[in-house]
């Protein structure tokens, strides 16, 4: 009878490769290496449940495509539009803008301290736009350039659907001129920077840039 072949020893791993799993012991499968052993970090360690809930919300929202394709900013948009419409109906839109600016004043003045300390007004734009969840949870499309931020007005679809059934009688231009622009100017004043906001464009693409 031929002698059974002997197992061929595994070759040594290349230099710098992560160690393999430890050998099986007591009939148990080998332990899997941890992400720390491989040097892999997601940034969500300890927050896996939070990430899971967020992904569930994303999937439930994106699958809702009737009567229109919903997005994660829908709730924020509807809250904004409801408040703006209410203020417009009562002739209180300027007071609502002033209240909003006052509410954000502690945050904006803290950003202003950084601008004053560094002498760099770009920090002010960062604080106004891409660094704050009040912005990126509302606006889904934007572009960052030195001294300038460009974005697409997020209200079009939800405003059109709500106007069709009588919820709103607002226009995007009205929102831009009477809500968005005065709020940005008020925020910028508290930060201590001077900015210029573009007029309304039918494309919906708008901009804010530092000015002298």
The β-bridge partners of 205 are 152
The β-bridge partners of 142 are 151
Q: How far apart are CA 197 and CA 195, in angstroms?
A: 7
- Output the pLDDT for position 33: 56
- Output the pLDDT for position 8: 43
- Output the pLDDT for position 31: 59
| CA-wise closest residue to 124 among 198, 187, 196, 176 | 187
Burial of 83 (0-12, 13-18, 19+ CB in 10 A): middle
Low-confidence ranges of the chain (pLDDT < 70): 1-40
- Output the pLDDT for position 36: 58
- For the record, the structure tokens of 155 come out as 């209200």
Burial track 149-181 (b if 16+ CB lie within 10 A, e otherwise): bbbbbbbeebbeebeeeeebebebeebbebbbb
Backbone angles phi, psi at 42, to 5 degrees: -95, -20
Q: Taking the model in full, what pTM does it have?
A: 0.76
């Amino acid at each position: 009878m031929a002698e059974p072949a002997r197992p061929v020893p595994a070759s040594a791993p290349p230099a710098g490769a992560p160690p393999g799993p430890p050998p099986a012991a007591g009939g148990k499968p080998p332990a899997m290496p941890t992400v720390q052993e491989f040097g892999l970090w997601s940034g969500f360690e300890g927050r896996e449940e939070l990430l899971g809930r967020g992904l569930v919300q994303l999937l439930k929202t994106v699958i809702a495509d009737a009567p229109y394709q919903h997005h994660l900013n829908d709730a924020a948009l509807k809250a904004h539009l409801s408040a703006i419409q209410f203020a417009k109906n009562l002739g209180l839109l300027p007071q609502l803008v002033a209240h909003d600016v006052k509410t954000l004043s502690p945050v904006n003045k803290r950003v202003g301290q950084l601008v004053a300390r560094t002498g760099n007004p770009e920090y002010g734009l960062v604080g106004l736009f891409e660094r704050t969840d009040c912005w990126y949870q509302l606006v889904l499309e934007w572009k960052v350039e030195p001294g300038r931020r460009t974005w697409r007005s997020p209200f079009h679809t939800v405003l059109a659907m709500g106007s069709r059934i009588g919820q709103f009688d607002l226009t995007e231009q009205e929102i831009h001129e009477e809500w968005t622009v005065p709020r940005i100017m008020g925020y910028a004043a508290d930060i201590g920077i001077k900015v210029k906001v573009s007029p309304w464009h039918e494309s919906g693409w708008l901009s804010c840039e530092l000015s002298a």
